[in-house]
Structure 1
Amino acid sequence: MKQASALAEPRTAAGAPIAPFVVLMFSAMFLDAVNVPGLGVPANSIAMGLVMLFAAFAPYRGPKLALALAPLVVAVPVWLFLTSLLNGDVDMRRILNISLFAAVILAVASGRLNRVAIGRGLAIGLVAGIVWGAITLPQSSYIGRMTGPFGDPNAGGFLIAVCAALAIPALTKNWQRVGLIAVCLGGVYLTESRTTMLAVAIMAVWVVLGRFGSRWLGMATVGLLMWWVSTIPQDSFATGAFADRAGSDALRARIFALEIVDVDRNPLIGNGAGTARINVDGLTFFYHSSYLALRAETGWVGFIIMAALLGIAFLALIRLPRGQRNVWYEAALLGVAVCALNLGEVLLTLPTAIALGLAMQYEAAQKLPPAAPPRRGLRNRGSLAPPSRRKWRIAA
């Protein structure tokens, strides 16, 4: 397939050499709800922190990051810190989390981390996490819905859908791809996350249209589907196998109404880090819409920054010639956009950071000039010495 072959071409070299450490760290991405003892920090965040240290000392092997994107990435945590200062309450833990989010984007996009290693690590982690979740399904805190190391079924469904799309291009054999898709579809089904199921369907439509149809037809089709998902009443999904969700959907509707009021308190700059929470009958709930959560924390300013970052990255991918496009990375960004409608914390998470970083690295790599073919007859191609001297060295 064109997408698979593109990863092997010299001019689309996947950054630095494949390092087992990078594979291992990205395989820990599924440990979203497993805290490191004594630190109270999720294991996947610790893994990403360690791989950032690795990237800081890794040689630069990739293309230059698009100048239009790097300032947008940095602007996300910077603006969150500034609006927190303006609101008089700086939640440093939250700001550090978003700083890690930005660091992951830049490190992956820079080419200091091999995207094949990243993808294979994600594939290993997904299989391990889904198997873990399936085995522990009877002990799930959400009756009948898989949580396992993901913590929450909706967060788990989002992570599975997006990371699966990011992992598939790194797998070179068809049986590996088909196997991963089957396992991940089973994982999404076990989470019973309705929004994730819709996201997977939209991602599948995009992959098919991206391979065999026009990009404009794909954008029109997916745009209509996303509009439908964002406007359909929540109680429309509380039927059939989801009939028992009527109570939770009613609560979701109450939370959504309060979210709309909350974001209007300070619409331009937001309310600062860690404020995307709603109190209902004495209980605190996180926002269910990641878009509204972003507006609550950062206002329209932060919302526009993040929307521009996602939009530019996505458009840069789909503008590539058909033979160079990577529909899986494109689908991952679409999965983020769809899941953010109803699944709370999505836009500023590590899976989204990885998706953005891989998209940027891949798109920039397509602009590298083709590698010159090796010259035949030179036994010491790495030397810069004149031919006579190279022969003398070989003879010696």
Structure 2
Amino acid sequence: MVDRVRGGAIGIATETRVFEFLIGVALTFSRFNIGSRLPVEILLVILVLGIAAFRRPTIDVSRVQTWMVMLMAAILIWVVAVSHHTGQPWAQRGFRICLLFLFALCLAQGRIHWKSIVAGAAAGLIVINAPSYFLGVRAQAYQGYLTGWIGDKNVSGMFYAVFAVVGLCLFTLTWQKVVYFLVMFGLLWLTGSRTSIAGCLLALVWWFMRSRAHLWLRLVTAGIGVWVLVTVENRYSQVGEFSDRTGTDWYRHQIDVATTAKLAETPWFGQGLNTGWVQLSPTRQALFHNSYALLRVEGGWPLIVAVLVLVVIVAFGIFGINKDVSDDQRAVEAGLAVVLVCAWKLGEVFFTLPCLFLVGAAVALRYGEPVAAPTAVTLRVSDDMPGVVRAGS
């Protein structure tokens, strides 16, 4: 047993790149602001793009790259145009979205090793973020819930849920996967995020069925999962461990009511970036608690369609017919399932680092082919013509 554990640890360490691993660890601090307005997330993405610019692609995604770039460019151009038309500021958020799109493209091309980021993120969430919470290293905005350096309990829940299922690709033995998932799910439970917990469990079902079920059964399962999620949320969201959420749910309900009212007055093309807020009182604003509604308000129906095409069809591959997929691919798809569920109750999910990270990794796995290494060229002196140098492989 000891030899098997040592062998598994050596295998993970051998495949892990130090730079990407440290970037994954730093994701724990991605929502921490330097100064008043500069999140660590932006600095991490800029650093990754700077390193990726000097690396050659290792994965060929040419069959989908052009369409992916065109779709991302269309999304960015559309939200900027709508914002300009409605007089909304767009430069700061538009720049952030552009950086995240470039980050996803670098992952898709294999310039950045995504599995090393997963290993680092899992280590950071377990070894740094959780102890920070238990030791009280950082003041917690949500007393009694595991947030750590992430700050918000629902965002913390999404991080733990995503990497609980994506991290399964790091291990080869079943017992290792079980132990890892139980540890991550235990920490996820401590965040108190009901939506993230539900999303993680549904993603685990998808991960288990992905290579065992054909397309029609996966679609039926997805439909049943959505129905179960809505039913549980409507009927059992305040039972047992969550019976004391009356105040929290009342506050969320007020946001939902105000969101519905704002959607009703939003034109088909949206209101522009930074409009996904509702006024709850003369002195209090709140961000939407629904990313689908946020897309609808900021960019209208065109933005909803474009983003869902990118995430659900291109990356997640909901209509994919190939049942035989790698453990890596089904783990990343499970992570995207978490994102799609969390988007139902979180305000900003699609234009975030976890979502675009998963999109890039999914494209690399679904459409990528290894780039052939350049043929080595040697020089030799011609025997029949002295002084002439010929090239040979």
State the partner residue of 1:299. 300
Shift of 1:159: 1.4
Pairing 1:24–2:22 present: yes
State the partner residue of 1:59. 56
State the partner residue of 1:166. 166
- What is the rounded CA distance, in whole Å, between the counterparts of 2:49 and 2:173 in structure 1? 29
Distance 1:199 1:316, change over 3 A: closer
- What is the rounded CA distance, in whole Å, between the counterparts of 1:347 and 1:266 in structure 2? 20
- What is the rounded CA distance, in whole Å, between the counterparts of 2:57 and 2:319 in structure 1? 22
- What is the rounded CA distance, in whole Å, between the counterparts of 2:231 and 2:146 in structure 1? 27
State the partner residue of 1:357. 360
Shift of 1:18: 5.7
Shift of 1:318: 4.1
State the partner residue of 1:9. none
- What is the rounded CA distance, in whole Å, between the counterparts of 2:262 and 2:221 in structure 1? 33
State the partner residue of 2:322. 320
Shift of 1:199: 0.4
Distance 1:217 1:316, change over 3 A: closer
Distance 1:134 1:175, change over 3 A: farther
- What is the rounded CA distance, in whole Å, between the counterparts of 2:234 and 2:175 in structure 1? 38
- What is the rounded CA distance, in whole Å, between the counterparts of 2:78 and 2:242 in structure 1? 40
CA contact (8 A) 1:80 1:298 kept: yes
1:144-223 correspondence to structure 2 within 5 Å: 144-171=144-171, 177-223=177-223
State the partner residue of 1:330. 333
Shift of 1:316: 7.1
More divergent stretch after superposition (146-155 vs 124-133):
124-133
More divergent stretch after superposition (98-107 vs 330-339):
98-107
Shift of 1:360: 0.3
- What is the rounded CA distance, in whole Å, between the counterparts of 2:331 and 2:32 in structure 1? 28
Distance 1:134 1:63, change over 3 A: farther
More divergent stretch after superposition (62-71 vs 50-59):
62-71
Shift of 1:253: 1.7
- What is the rounded CA distance, in whole Å, between the counterparts of 2:157 and 2:219 in structure 1? 24
Shift of 1:294: 1.2
State the partner residue of 1:44. 41
- What is the rounded CA distance, in whole Å, between the counterparts of 2:319 and 2:114 in structure 1? 16
Q: RMSD between aligned alpha carbons?
A: 2.9
- What is the rounded CA distance, in whole Å, between the counterparts of 2:312 and 2:17 in structure 1? 31
Equivalent position SS for 1:244: coil
Write out per-residue CA displacement over residues 111-146 of structure 1, whole angstroms, 9 at most, x where no aligned residue: 111223222222222222233234339953212111
CA contact (8 A) 2:252 2:289 kept: yes
Distance 1:98 1:246, change over 3 A: same
State the partner residue of 1:375. none
Counterpart amino acid of 1:314?
A: F
CA contact (8 A) 1:118 1:167 kept: no
Shift of 1:153: 0.5
Unaligned runs of 5+ in 2: 1-14, 384-393
Equivalent position SS for 2:53: helix
1:1-396 correspondence to structure 2 within 5 Å: 19-36=17-34, 38=35, 40-65=37-62, 66=64, 67-127=66-126, 128-136=128-136, 139-171=139-171, 177-230=177-230, 234=234, 236-282=236-282, 283-312=284-313, 313-315=315-317, 318-324=320-326, 326-365=329-368, 367=369, 382-383=376-377
Shift of 1:234: 4.2
* Percent pairwise identity: 28
TM-score, normalised to structure 2's length?
A: 0.83
State the partner residue of 1:7. none
Shift of 1:179: 4.3
Equivalent position SS for 1:237: coil
More divergent stretch after superposition (241-250 vs 197-206):
241-250
Write out per-residue CA displacement over residues 168-198 of structure 1, whole angstroms, 9 at most, x where no aligned residue: 3244566654443233112211101000111
- Count, aligned residues: 363
Distance 1:168 1:75, change over 3 A: farther
Distance 1:122 1:175, change over 3 A: farther
- What is the rounded CA distance, in whole Å, between the counterparts of 2:215 and 2:302 in structure 1? 30
Distance 1:69 1:110, change over 3 A: same
CA contact (8 A) 2:59 2:370 kept: no
Shift of 1:207: 1.4
CA contact (8 A) 2:209 2:218 kept: yes
- What is the rounded CA distance, in whole Å, between the counterparts of 1:86 and 1:307 in structure 2? 24
Unaligned runs of 5+ in 1: 1-16, 373-380, 390-396
Shift of 1:80: 1.7
Counterpart amino acid of 1:93?
A: Q
Write out per-residue CA displacement over residues 341-385 of structure 1, whole angstroms, 9 at most, x where no aligned residue: 1122111111000010000011122x559x89xxxxxxxx94556
TM-score, normalised to structure 1's length?
A: 0.83
Equivalent position SS for 1:285: strand
- What is the rounded CA distance, in whole Å, between the counterparts of 1:92 and 1:305 in structure 2? 21
